A and B are shown apart, each in its own frame.
Chain A
Amino acid sequence: QKEVEQDPGPLSVPEGAIVSLNCTYSNSAFQYFMWYRQYSRKGPELLMYTYSSGNKEDGRFTAQVDKSSKYISLFIRDSQPSDSATYLCAVPDKLIFGTGTRLQVFP
């Protein structure tokens, strides 16, 4: 079983929609989880992280962890065309990445 699995999408939504991006993980010992954002033809950059013990909100972005089902989620409220990118979840231990979900927000 892979350490982290992610639905590759693509996901296409209208501007203003609420977006939900999800990953599942296998190792219950992970202390925190990360979300990276990657624009086309660029390197990934850290968007936000959350500890396994709780959720985290940063502006329009919310990261959640459900330890019972080993599920991590990233919610984007009031999505904007500038949010169009690939979103990768990642778990610690030299960073293992999900395959990434490509998101397109159209005006």
Chain B
Amino acid sequence: NAGVTQTPKFRVLKTGQSMTLLCAQDMNHEYMYWYRQDPGMGLRLIHYSVGEGTTAKGEVPDGYNVSRLKKQNFLLGLESAAPSQTSVYFCASSYQDRGGIDEQFFGPGTRLTVL
């Protein structure tokens, strides 16, 4: 199993450009998440999905949109990139066993620079 994969690994954008980050998981997990990680800020939740066709806002959703058309994929879009969106983006998925521990499995990250 590949686990959680992210595409692309690196990207440089100019201010105002748009792009889509793709996350895929092969563990049949219901829940998927997008985080950004910045120095001194830790991991902050952008958006998440509790199942195919659903999305919800996290802590820092402004400037981002997401879609979950297929259970195994979760897309993060930047419509008009800004330098403040320079960050490392992580996708994660989880099984959400209500009776147990919600372990999230993370992808390798996408390093995005907005000039």
Contact = CB atoms under 8 A, between A and B. Distances in A.
**Do A and B interact with each other, yes or no?**
yes
B40 A44 contact: no
A18 B101 CA distance: 27
A42 B37 CA distance: 12
B109 A99 contact: no
A42 B109 contact: yes
A46 B41 contact: no
A44 B101 CA distance: 16
Contact of A41 (B4, B58, B101, B109): B109
A: interface residue count bin: 20 to 34
Interface in B48-83: 48, 58
Contacts of B104: 46, 95
A63 interface: no
Interface in A11-41: 32, 34, 41
A43 B106 contact: yes
B42 A99 contact: yes
B49 to A, nearest CB: 11
Interface of B (DSSP majority class):
strand
Interface string B71-115: 000000000000000000010100000000111111111000000
Given A97-B42, A97-B43, A99-B41, A44 B102 contact: no
B30 to A, nearest CB: 13
B33 A34 contact: no
B45 A45 contact: no
Most interface-central of A41, A45, A99 (chain B CB within 10 A): A99
Contacts of B107: 43
B94 to A, nearest CB: 8
B57 to A, nearest CB: 11
Interface of B: 4, 33, 40-43, 45, 48, 58, 90, 92, 101-109
Given A45-B105, A95-B92, 8 more contacts: A8-B40, A34-B101, A43-B108, A44-B43, A92-B102, A95-B33, A97-B43, A99-B41
15 contacts: A34-B101, A41-B109, A43-B106, A43-B108, A44-B90, A44-B106, A45-B105, A49-B101, A88-B42, A94-B48, A97-B42, A98-B42, A99-B40, A99-B42, A100-B42
